Structure 1
Amino acid sequence: MKSKKYTYIFNEGNAFMSNLLGGKGANLAEMTNLGIPVPPGFTITTEACNNYYENDMRFSRDIIEQVDEMMIKLERKTGKKFGSMDNPLFVSVRSGARVSMPGIMDTILNLGLNDETVEGLHRLSNDEKFAYDSYRRFIQTYSEVVMGMEKERFESIFNEVKDDKKVKYDDQLTAEDLKGIVNKYKDLYRIETKNDFPQNPREQLFKAISAIFKSWNNERTVSYRRLNNIPEKWGTAVNIQLMVFGNMGKDSGTGVAFTRNPITGENSLFGEYLVNAQGEDVVSGIRTPSAISKLKEQLPECYNQFIRISRKLEEHYGDMQDLEFTIEQGKLYFLQTRDGKRTSQAALKIAADLINEAIITKEEALTRVDKDKLESLLCLGTRYKRLNGIDFKLKELTI
């Protein structure tokens, strides 16, 4: 009997498979097939999540075998080896439900780092500080997401070292400082869990996947699902993806951006990014991000490529997009695209502009504007509004 398919390489999927691949996985697949620069990877399906719960929160043999097979394929595609000291493969592990659940589900970056592969990363990058910065980040997020340890315990250690070294910003710490932090983090892990921090990358991977599946039913997620009428049976997919590092120096960074201004609807990039940063740094408040327009000065080639790809994604999806991206040593990668949330005012302007730009029809535009929100924008007693030559009549809205 042929086993069910629980894993899909990105180019095997498409945007219409969100029920199976989750929203993030479906869009990663779609972008890959469009030729957008997406780090290679694969998706573990929402059906695998349901199978995990049906199997008393254990992985079935089919899931284990298929994940192992996909990791071998990823090694071949990248030329890297999971757990190797010479050319190590590192991955991110991200959740991806059918619908966007911002700030709810978990992410683990830099998976595959251990006491040996961190030295491999050091040699490959010729940057010891970067390697140990990545390792300390991984230990912390793995401990939080997989083991349920408190974030504050790690932040306390980190801030104590910064205070002791009399530095204000994270990137002012030296490689030796970061090595010391790694050791302190591993000591804390040992005290809290009664075990050493796991050194086997495959063990790290399956425990991370398990943690993402378990997060579908944690208190935070259950509350969010209840408030937003998201059925438990939907489950979450998991996306395993080659790590690209935004913390590799001044020609690297990470950020989020909208292809149009979500507040006003203006047709210009809107967002922010941080140089030499990773993951949650952009929204952490530790450093002040730069406006996305600043990228034109710092990395003009990346900025121009960003503009071209933003336009391509808008034309393909027929809507303003919300993007997550990372730049690794001057090379731009996209990690997520989805229809962007916007104000009522912006929704009206964006819809009108997309019609004028021949990206969507007027009939499509009318389905994009919430009738109740639109009515609040109109003058009392007015039954339609004309914007950029487009009439938006309330009686025609059928949402």
Structure 2
Amino acid sequence: MDDDSATGVAMTRNGSTGERQLEGDYLTNAQGEDVVAGIRMTKDLSELKKEMPDLYAEFERIALLLEKHYREMQDMEFTIEKGKLWMLQTRDGKRTAQAAVRIAVEMADEGLIDRQTAVRRVKPEHVDFFLHPQFDPAALAGGKLLARGLNVSPGGAVGQVAFDANMAEAWAKNEGKAVIMVRPETKPDDVHGMLAAEGILTSRGGRTSHAALVARQFGKPAVVGASAITIDLTNREMTIGERTIHEGEWISIDGTAGVVYEGQLATMVPDIKDPWLIKLLDWADSFRTLGVWANADYPRDARRAVEYGAQGIGLCRSEHMFFETDRLPYFQKMIMADYPVERREALAALLPFQREDFAGLFRVMDGRPVIIRLIDPPLHEFLPDLVELVAELADLKIQLKHAPDMAAIDALLSDIRQKEQLRKRALSLREANPMLGLRGVRLGIYIPELTSMQVRAIFEAACMVVKEGIDVHPEVMIPLTSHVNELIRQRTVLEGEARTVMAEQGVTIGYKFGTMIELPRAALTADRIAEHAEFFSFGTNDLTQTTFGISRDDAEAGFLIEYMEGGILPANPFATLDRDGVGQLIDMAVRKGRASKPDLECGICGEHGGDPQSIALCHQLGLTYVSCSPFRVPIARLAAAHAALQETGRPHDE
């Protein structure tokens, strides 16, 4: 109407940072459409305070009144008509993850809401934001927008465009390039390229498309359904409007917002030490009843886990320690040994390595429990690949034919004998289905000296660290038990070793022996198994595989995707616990186990330990703890609090 009239939009708090201040835009002598359409340069709301001070003061008073009434940050639309303020609309305001956390905490501190409500308002995906690389806000402000799509997997990724999976893998693995794999849509045979890429972009597909499902599963930033992009696979280029991008050019994708930018934008890792997040997670800890532990194999992992709030280590995979380059030769020598004395020599060489590994974990986890799983994978995994061995043997024999002198011949013959011995042993250990073969407790019974060495290393480390004044709580876990007699036999041997070590060291260590429940038979006979175990840890990865009869490694790159896209399965059972099948087995095992031993400690240590829906089920089933990757610990802490608050449904404020 005139310069005494204006229109604008505003929020009661900053939607990006959560800071408690009015923010917004307005225009004088304009329609509301002009503000949001971007056809005119808007003014910052702070200018209104100078231009119309009385009306700004009235607007500020009403904004605070609305926020107090709704107990939530408000997004408002207003009009000033010839000097009179009209409020047109108010609604809960949209905000970033950082803002959501800060607003929830500050509103609780201000007394607008209680702490329970503050914890409820922050979602696990908000916490997840703090764990993924994101684009620097300054870089985003100057970024050149190419296209928009669906934000299906969070995080920022920068890379060179590759239009097929083979190229993406070759560039990433062989040339060390950062790659964004771009496809019209992805299929199961693209998975190797998706795993090698920094991020994924498709021009077609929705939130349940193959690209979306795989990206979320493997934590890859992804934008799908960017329909403005036309991809020409023949000419290896993509077109957005008048801009054509050729293979090898740089792009940046924001999987959190669903946006694609031209060129290389600077990324930043959000700070997990954000003071408002720390405060909110402390409140969450006061509400949850489910413990949150971490899967950690090395002291550096354990330190991160403690930093992120883990209460213990729920899974240390001891076999990972044997893959180190200075240990693998000794372990291979142990596998290759034809005589007990040779095996004992190899194990004696490995003992100091294992002892120091475990001592490092105990030092970091001072006073917290540490569950160490005895060696689990099949022995053949520690030997060279059989196909590669045959190829190497053939190459050595060709070299032998052209050897220049006797010294070269002798050296080649020695190599051939060694490779041939490896080939024969790899062939003898080869199994049709190694996941169901010689591993876990079976391996400990087959080679008792191996697991005895590990237990000796655990207790020598514990005694050593106790003498340093550190509080130690080791828990030894025997994997893949299917029959109680396996556990009885293995535990008898191992407890004898533990008592021997403590007697030698003159130190008494409080410890527990338990087992992994990762086979349906173990769940069905949990009452008998519990008579010989202080704790159960559900290995939900294997329990899901053996319950469904599905190989995770094969299915997730194949028919399982089609099952989810076609609605045959509601979710990926390897990402979210199957309530009706696997969940029932866990429930049965917990109830039967605690019927035999009421104080039985029960937890899970599979990938499901960091999934909010699975955590809610674990809470309902009365588990003691969930154990997950150190990076998922903050998410698990919040999800466990949500599960407890959902159960009580009562207001709570301290």
TM-score under structure 2 length normalisation: 0.22
Larger relative contact order (C-alpha < 8 A, sep ≥ 6)? 1
Larger Rg: 2
TM-score under structure 1 length normalisation: 0.35
